[in-house]
Amino acid sequence: MKFTFSFIDKRQGSVKDDILSGLTVALALVPEAVAFAFVAGISPIIGLYGAFMMGLVTAIIGGRPGMISGATGALAVVMVNLVSEGNAMGAPGDMMGIQYLFATIILAGLFQMTAGFLKLGKFIRMVPQSVMMGFVNGLAIVIFTSQLGMFKIGGDFLSGSPLFIMLGLVALTMGIMYFLPMFSKKIPAALVGIVVVSLIVILGGIETETVRSFVVSKGGTGIKASLPTFNVPMIPFNLETIKFILPYSLILATIGLTESLMTLTLVDELTETRGSGNRECVAQGIANITNGFFGGMGGCAMIGQSIINIKSGGRGRLSGIVAAVALLMFILFASSYIEMIPIAALVGVMFMVVIGTFAWSTFKIINKIPLADVIVIVLVTALTVIFDLAVAVSAGVVVSALVFAWENAVKIRVSSVMDDQGVKHYIVHGPLFFAATTSFINSFDVKNDPKEVVISFEESRIMDQSAIEAINKLAEKYQLIGTNVHLRYLSSDCVKLIKKAEKICDVNVLKDPDYHVAINNYRKKVEELKTV
């Protein structure tokens, strides 16, 4: 019997799969939400509330069933300065930073909803595959390095027996997740791994880091709390407040949408289905507004938890709803049990997420793709690790666009032929845009050309204003020496933008039979040269 291992199962989900995968995701959300809350400098309960509300709202109305949203590190690092500066704006002990955080999240949500209503989510299509590959590789590295912090106690890495116990439990969890799907896929392997390792630790009395000890080590007292309540942020509503929170809200909205739409695209590829980017933008906005009024830290889509959900069989909206509701139940009623789960089990699950997230095909295609794409992959990977997703994706898209522009710029060429009447015909080939205008102008022998010149754009396309200006400049050069210029096959909108078109150019947007005679003569001469 031959076993094969595939991290992502593309089978259709079921109610049972959605429920079990939702429970698995809920367990994995706890340490992540707590850790990101401490990064932002706020209470872990605020992080857990944020994960619950983000997950519930986006699961119900989001554009990608099966995708999980919650409190994320990408937003938490931005919130650090926001909270600290907000605290400084209030009286000592007032903790105004949290109130400013809630107001900022509400404004960021409004920006995200606006982006969805304006249908800006479609621009995610402009992200090249090389950027996408660099994104998932960088994110896999970020997830991996974030889990290394779980091997610390009091800021120092574990050593001796505690380290070996931790590594053994992590390896056991990963082993269960690897081998169990070979025998049965009826129960999520991640959930089985967490339960089995938890029972071994609890029944065996093994001393190791648990969810509770992790929370306490971060300065918390536990994850037990009551239901979130509605509150309007207690901040002064004036121009100074707007100036303070506006930049932060724009940054949070941009990073949140970038990570959410990139995650949506990745889940689309993994499941071979298609979500709605614009709908997801609106859902992310509504979820963040809800967080702002109900005391959550806000967030966006979480690639790690989304992959756990997909890997565990979650495909429908029910999986996200179960994850969010289960997380709330943990907070309200089962905190004492959840706090007993060993951190090693959750780390093992996340390590398997890293393995499934990283695009291992990168190493297979690295010597088969253009050098520019290799550079973009490495660049985006590095920037994702060093800075954040928004910076990495933006830089990757810009570099890819510049490479594309350059490659198309060098494709512009201009051929010429002289007809029997002494008229010189130039035929432009390739797109004419800003990067190609210099080569375009240098292709004409203005001083030595005859008094009649025809320039054909039948094999070309005028792409932007720079191309129009280049045509204007060329026509004016011919005008200065008294040469008549005839522009052929320009679109009507281009004709309108040609300066003094009716005076210096004979613009023809229709088919010109005389021109075809010249073209045929030109092609005949080319064929004759080939046979010589």
Distance in angstroms (rounded) separating the CA atoms of residues 137 and 393: 12
Residue at a domain's end among 368, 394, 427: 368
Same domain? 513 vs 431? yes
Residue at a domain's end among 333, 368, 403: 368
Same domain? 473 vs 328? no
Could you tell me if residue 377 is inside a domain?
no
Pair 456, 515: CB distance under 8 Å: yes
Could you tell me if residue 447 is inside a domain?
yes
Supply φ then ψ for residue 347, to 5 degrees. -65, -40
Could you tell me if residue 107 is inside a domain?
yes
| H helices present in 189-238, as ranges | 189-204, 211-217
Same domain? 451 vs 353? no
Same domain? 127 vs 191? yes
Distance in angstroms (rounded) separating the CA atoms of residues 293 and 228: 9
Same domain? 167 vs 288? yes
State residue 380's pLDDT score: 93
Q: Does an H or E element contain 173, and which?
A: helix 160-183
Could you tell me if residue 443 is inside a domain?
yes
Could you tell me if residue 381 is inside a domain?
no
First to last CA, the chain: 67
The tens place of each residue's pLDDT in the chain, 532 residues long, gives 343 445 555 556 689 999 999 999 999 898 888 878 877 888 889 999 999 999 999 999 999 999 999 998 778 878 988 998 998 888 777 789 999 999 999 999 999 999 999 998 888 778 888 998 998 898 889 888 888 888 888 778 899 999 999 999 999 999 999 999 888 877 888 899 999 999 999 999 999 999 888 888 767 778 888 999 999 999 998 899 999 999 999 989 988 998 899 899 989 988 888 899 999 999 999 999 999 999 999 999 998 899 999 988 898 999 999 999 999 999 999 999 999 999 999 899 889 888 988 889 899 998 889 999 999 999 999 998 888 777 888 899 999 999 988 888 888 899 999 988 889 999 999 899 999 999 999 999 999 999 999 998 888 888 888 998 999 899 889 989 999 888 888 777 777 777 655 555 555 544 444 444 444 554 555 455 445 4
Q: Does an H or E element contain 415, and which?
A: strand 413-418
CA-closest candidate to residue 488, choices 500, 471, 506:
506
Same domain? 317 vs 417? no
State residue 164's pLDDT score: 95
Q: Assign residue 41 a region: left if phi > 0, alpha if psi is -120 to 50, beta otherwise? A: left
Domain hosting 254: range is 15-368
Pair 92, 304: CB distance under 8 Å: no
**Amino acid identity at 458:** E
Any idea what DSSP says for residue 110? H
Same domain? 113 vs 176? yes
Any idea what DSSP says for residue 210? B
Distance in angstroms (rounded) separating the CA atoms of residues 251 and 79: 10
What is the full DSSP assignment across 29-56? HHHHHHHHHHHHTS-HHHHHHHHHHHHH
Total of domains in the chain: 2
Residue 340 CB partners (closer than 8 Å, separation 6+): 198, 201, 202, 210, 211, 212
Tokens encoding 380: 């985006």
Distance in angstroms (rounded) separating the CA atoms of residues 284 and 266: 17
Using the structure block, give the residue that is written with the tokens 């119900």: 60
Q: Domain containing 427 — which CATH number?
A: 3.30.750.24
Same domain? 272 vs 328? yes
Could you tell me if residue 382 is inside a domain?
no
User: At 160, is the secondary structure helix, strand, or coil?
Assistant: helix
Distance in angstroms (rounded) separating the CA atoms of residues 82 and 105: 11
Same domain? 164 vs 103? yes
**Amino acid identity at 350:** M
Pair 470, 409: CB distance under 8 Å: no
Distance in angstroms (rounded) separating the CA atoms of residues 406 and 393: 20
Distance in angstroms (rounded) separating the CA atoms of residues 437 and 442: 9
Beta-strand relationship, 452-456 and 460-462: unpaired
Same domain? 167 vs 83? yes
Residue 294 neighbours by CB distance under 10 Å: 17
Q: Tell me the C-alpha to C-alpha distance, in Å, between residue 98 and each of 87, 293, 504.
A: 8, 12, 66
Pair 287, 23: CB distance under 8 Å: no
Pair 297, 50: CB distance under 8 Å: yes
Distance in angstroms (rounded) separating the CA atoms of residues 472 and 501: 9
Beta-strand relationship, 152-153 and 300-301: unpaired
Supply φ then ψ for residue 486, to 5 degrees. -120, 115
Pair 45, 223: CB distance under 8 Å: yes
Supply φ then ψ for residue 344, to 5 degrees. -60, -40
